[in-house]
Amino acid sequence: MFESTLLAMQELVWFFIYEKWTGQALLLLFPFFILIELPMNLLVVAGILRWYSKKLRRTPFNSRYTPKVSCIITCYSEGRDVLQTLQTLCEQTYPGHIELIPVVDGASQNQDTLNVIRDFKLDRSLYPNRTLKAIPKWQRGGRVSSLNAGLQAASGEIVLALDGDTSFDNNTVSVLVRHFEDPNVPAVSGSLRVRNAKTSLVTRIQELEYFLSIHTSKVGLSEWNTVNNISGAFGAFRKNFLQHIGGWDTHSAEDLDITLRIKSYFGRQPYRIPFEPEAIGHTDAPITLREFLMQRLRWDGDLFFLYIRKHSHSITPRLLGWPNFLMTLFTGFFFQLVLPFMIVIYSVAMLILIPIPMVIVLTVFVYVLYLIMTIIIYLIGLMLVSERRRQDLRMLAVVPIFPLFMFALRCWGVVCILNEVFRRGHEESGMAPWWVLKKGKRF
């Protein structure tokens, strides 16, 4: 009798301790990072609504501002794909002069691409305001080298930095250039869509990612003048401003690098970088999972190099201004560098500290919250921003797996960051030869 009573008391004490510990664990393991991400999503949504209300009130007008535009097209091994790029630039509705400057990097090894460009016939009777100025760069120097070579040869007031495998809607140049009527605009960010979305599940998911993170979210960020990056595949710049800051700089991730260098003037001048959702570039995304992961190994590792090693001294309110300083802290440091580690640590701790049934409940809870946020941004983008609603409606099929994709991508982000921390992965980038990266200033 005594033994059974003692056993019952032990079970009661154990139950109390276990339940108390479980409650504390659940409190500790609540996904607080969601509460930090929520304000960012609300900021984006508010910006989109503000942009859309201004769009409804906007009065159409025909601008007489038609400066000469130089399109620097960086080419390496595109082959015949560059034809589509050249043709879509020739077919622009822009009434001003467009100068096409394809720069073939490592032309001695890339004769196919060079020959395709040389054989391209620009019909001056059809396109009287278009000129072609091909630059064969015989020794390979990387993308930055090609951009600076094109900048040196450019005679236009506005410079577009473009990839040789990207095609464009025919109103792209017109809608980009109109922003430069404002002297406080040194650069404009264009939108990108995935051209080969139907190829595989990996490309379909990337199509949705581009739609959410570029085509939709940047509309909201632009309203607060906090566009986080001018895409390397498609950006427009005022040439004299580019020359003032010394053009593009050596190292990897030249797009974010030059964005941060431009923003370092925001604290002194009322500059702004608009995002133009009507300026559409179409690019090919990695088809296989391995290609995708290797691409993000470079992209995400470059973020650590730029934010921590190269630009940490310039990320201050005095240079960036308070809005972009705070946005860089959130979207740069926190979302790109800290959040991946928080998510991985949270996931491991959850598996260790609480029972499996509760792990399942928490996992479903987090998934549902991220799914709701994804659906809201997607629907707002579809209804208010999209210029191809019927085409974009097909993305709905991959929306349910997008939160899982983002979870896996953030876990992979930890690998990418550690690869940069311990191996300086940006120096192994295929975007430039190793000797070019090694000769650059070491940070």
- 432: pLDDT strictly greater than 90: no
- 57: pLDDT strictly greater than 60: yes
Number of H helices, E strands in the chain: 18, 9
Residue with more model confidence, 216 or 300: 216
* Nearest-angstrom CA–CA distance, 293 and 295: 5
Task: Say if CB 100 and CB 172 are below 8 A apart.
Answer: no
- 7: pLDDT strictly greater than 60: no
Going by C-alpha positions, the residue among 193, 282, 190 that lies closest to residue 234 is 190
Q: How many CB atoms lie within 10 A of CB 434?
A: 12
The model's pLDDT over 162-192, given as tens digits with 9 standing for 90+, comes to 998 899 999 999 999 999 999 999 999 999 9
Q: Which residues pair with 283 in a beta bridge?
A: 194
- Write down the residue that tokens 């979302």 correspond to: 335
pLDDT more than 70, % of the chain: 88
The model's pLDDT over 217-258, given as tens digits with 9 standing for 90+, comes to 999 999 999 999 998 888 999 999 999 999 998 766 688 999
- Position 313, amino acid: H
Chain center to CA of 80:
26
- 129: pLDDT strictly greater than 70: yes
User: Which residues have CB under 8 Å from 83's CB, separation 6+?
Assistant: 116, 120
Assigned token pair, 29: 């393991």
User: Strand ranges (DSSP E) for 294-374?
Assistant: none
Going by C-alpha positions, the residue among 283, 78, 81 that lies closest to residue 169 is 283
Lowest mean pLDDT among 249-253, 346-350, 429-433: 429-433
The predicted model gives 298-320 an average pLDDT of: 90
Q: How confident is the model at residue 439 (pLDDT cuts 50, 70, 90)?
A: low
Assigned token pair, 427: 């120096």
Assigned token pair, 41: 């999503």
- Write down the residue that tokens 């802290």 correspond to: 329
pLDDT score recorded for residue 438: 60
User: Which residues have CB under 8 Å from 98's CB, separation 6+?
Assistant: 68, 69, 70, 71, 89, 90, 92, 129, 130, 131, 156, 173
- Write down the residue that tokens 């509760």 correspond to: 358
Rounded to the nearest 10 degrees, how much is the dihedral formed by the CA atoms of 368, 370, 371, 372? 90
pLDDT score recorded for residue 392: 96
3-state SS class at 104: strand
* Nearest-angstrom CA–CA distance, 355 and 167: 52
Q: How many CB atoms lie within 10 A of CB 251?
A: 25
State the DSSP code for 97: -
The string over 88-116, giving b where at least 16 C-beta atoms fall within 10 Å of a residue's C-beta and e elsewhere, is: bbbebebebbbbbbbbbbbbeebeebbeb
Q: Name the architecture of domain 67-286.
A: Alpha-Beta Complex (3.90)
The model's pLDDT over 35-46, given as tens digits with 9 standing for 90+, comes to 778 888 999 999
Q: Which helix (H) or strand (E) holds 421?
A: helix 402-423
Q: How confident is the model at residue 16 (pLDDT cuts 50, 70, 90)?
A: very low
Rounded to the nearest 10 degrees, how much is the dihedral formed by the CA atoms of 429, 430, 435, 440? -50
Tallying the residues shown for the chain, one arrives at: 443
Residue with more model confidence, 48 or 234: 48
pLDDT more than 90, % of the chain: 60
pLDDT score recorded for residue 243: 95
| Cα–Cα separations (whole angstroms), residue 275 to 49, 62, 261, 397 | 15, 20, 17, 27
